Amino acid sequence: MGCAFVKQVKHAPGYEESTLLAYETAFTIKEVESLYELFEKISHLIFNDGFIHREEFQFVLFKDSNKRNFFADRIFDLFDIKGNGVIEFGEFVRSLSIFHPYTSQDEKITFAFRIYDLKNAGFIEREELKEMVLALLNESDLFLTDDVVETIVDQTFKQADLNCDEKIDPMEWKEFAKKNPSLLKNMTLPYLMDITMAEFPNFVMNFEVVDEELDWH
- pLDDT per residue over 78-110, tens digit each? 999 999 999 999 999 999 999 999 999 999 999
Average pLDDT over residues 168-184: 93
Task: State the average pLDDT for the chain.
Answer: 85
Whether residue 205 is predicted with pLDDT greater than 50 in this model: the reply is no
CATH code of the domain occupying 104-188: 1.10.238.10
Condensed to tens digits (0 to 9), the pLDDT of residues 56-65 reads 998 888 776 6
Residues 91, 51 contacting (CB under 8 angstroms)? no
Q: Round to the nearest angstrom and report the end-to-end CA distance of the chain.
A: 81
Rounded to two decimals, the pTM is 0.82
State residue 151's pLDDT score.
94
- Extents of the domains making up the chain: 14-99, 104-188
CATH code of the domain occupying 14-99: 1.10.238.10
State residue 60's pLDDT score.
84
H or E segment to which residue 158 belongs? helix 146-160
Residue 110 backbone class (left: φ over 0; alpha: ψ -120 to 50; beta: rest):
alpha
What is the chain's alpha carbon radius of gyration, rounded to the nearest angstrom?
20
Same fold across 14-99 and 104-188:
yes
Whether residue 1 is predicted with pLDDT greater than 60 in this model: the reply is no
Condensed to tens digits (0 to 9), the pLDDT of residues 138-165 reads 877 788 889 999 999 999 999 999 999 9
pLDDT band at 209 (very low <50, low <70, confident <90, very high): very low
* Dist CA 187 CA 101 (whole Å): 9
